[in-house]
Amino acid sequence: MIRSRLTAQRLAFLFLLGCFFFNYPLLSVFNRGGDFFGMPPLYAWLMGSWLALIAQMAWVVERKGD
């Protein structure tokens, strides 16, 4: 019971972090010209933060013990 509650809290935090990552004020920082590994900075930010959130969610869900 306690473990599932802690997992739910961590996933809720990751949800809020995702809302922050994909919200206008932060996205406007990366919406400019330039090149980052062959793609615009905005696309690199979207793909990188999306990948990081998925990896963190998988780590939280698959974690064996605290």
Residues 6+ apart with CB under 8 A from 20: 26
Tens of pLDDT along the chain (66 residues) come to 787 899 999 999 999 999 999 999 999 999 999 998 889 999 999 999 999 999 999 999 998 765
Name the residue ranges covered by the structural domains of the chain: 5-62
The pLDDT of residue 2: 80
- Paired tokens of 10: 């961590």
The pLDDT of residue 55: 98
Residues 6+ apart with CB under 8 A from 5: none
The pLDDT of residue 16: 98
